[in-house]
Amino acid sequence: MPLLNDFLKAGRNVFLSPEYLPLIPLTYKAQIPSTNECASALVGTDGFYRMNRERHFGAILLSANPGSLPLATALLESQRWELTDVSPFGFLIIPRRHIEDSCPPTNSWTPPDPGTLASLLPSEDSRARWLIATAANLIAIKRMNDAETLLKSAAVLGKERSCLLGTEASLAASRDRWEEAAVLSAEAVKRNPSNISAREILIRSLTESGHPDEALDEARRLARQCRDTETLFLLARAANAANSWNEEISALQGLVDLGKKHNLPLGASLTYMGQALAKDGQRGAALRAFRAALDSPELSEEQRQMIRQLADHITAENPPDRSPR
């Protein structure tokens, strides 16, 4: 936030994940989009780029939440943007053309020096939490080597073992080392059964490493503990791998209902649901799900074409009755 405030004091426009807007003093209100504008710009990247052409943002602060992460990833994959700070709270990104002439001066982010971090966070517990949470955010934007560096520093401190193991499992999973991820996440859950993120990785790892029944058991347990979009998606995926069609459809229906309730993008959920319904022989319901998915604005044209092909395949297998009545 001090870095962000420096940009605002310099008169630069700033884009934020909506959850950060209440942290900004009202005196800078004209320099940041409204909550609705920020939320709208996070649906795909086109809306953000249109807004950036108008406002020429000097800095962008994004969280690692699912709604903001796609934009963060897209910007950092571009040659026009640079990561200048990362922490447990998210990512500070600025245009590369402003790196040298920015006010305040900024540099590309590098892992913090252990001595500097120790002076900022003297408590080993706090330092371990910072290192682990920042590493988790780096994994989310595919900065694996930097994440590994921070996790090694956290391991030396010997604190927050369940969180550390869970994040190490996430790093292993991101490198497709599923067996290793399963072992690490299982140990994290054993140390702290309420470690939801570690259990999520355990479910994914068991699914990917060919243990669908165990994954489904874990997914059921997690859905009872915490019923949100991530847990329902994992339950649906585990049910699919275990050939539990009714449970997959039920989880996907819950995912769609939750998305409608919280005004979340529904295209992917409806597509998966249409496929599950078609596999279960519910062709009419499958077609309705595909048609609803086509109304979702966040889908690309390539995704829409795939959905149309799926719907056409169902129709071709079971054409409507056109006989005269």
CATH classification of 112-210, choosing from 1.25.40, 1.10.3470, 3.30.530, 1.10.150?
A: 1.25.40
Distance CA 109, CA 267 (A): 35
* Percent of the chain scoring above 70 in pLDDT: 94
Distance CA 116, CA 25 (A): 29
Give residue 225's pLDDT: 87
Range 195-208 average pLDDT:
96
Residue 324 pLDDT > 50, yes or no? no
- pLDDT tens per residue across span 97-108: 755 555 555 678
Q: At what angle do helices 161-174 and 124-140 cross, to 10 degrees?
A: 20
Give pTM, 2 decimals. 0.84
Instruction: Using DSSP bridges, classify how beta strands 81-87 and 59-62 pair: parallel, antiparallel or unpaired.
Output: unpaired
Fold of 2-98: D-Maltodextrin-Binding Protein; domain 2 (3.40.190)
Range 52-58 average pLDDT:
93
Pairwise pLDDT comparison (70 vs 323), residue with the higher score: 70
Distance CA 232, CA 254 (A): 7
- pLDDT tens per residue across span 235-249: 999 999 999 999 999
Torsion angles phi and psi, residue 95, rounded to 5: -65, 140
83: part of which helix (H) or strand (E)?
A: strand 81-87
Distance CA 164, CA 162 (A): 5
Is residue 48 within 8 A of residue 73, CB to CB? The reply is no
Domain residue ranges of the chain, discontinuous segments joined by + = 2-98, 112-210
- pLDDT tens per residue across span 251-298: 999 999 999 998 888 999 999 999 999 999 999 999 999 999 999 888
Nearest Cα neighbor of 70 from 92, 50, 42, 96 is 42
Q: What is the token pair recorded at 138?
A: 């780096």
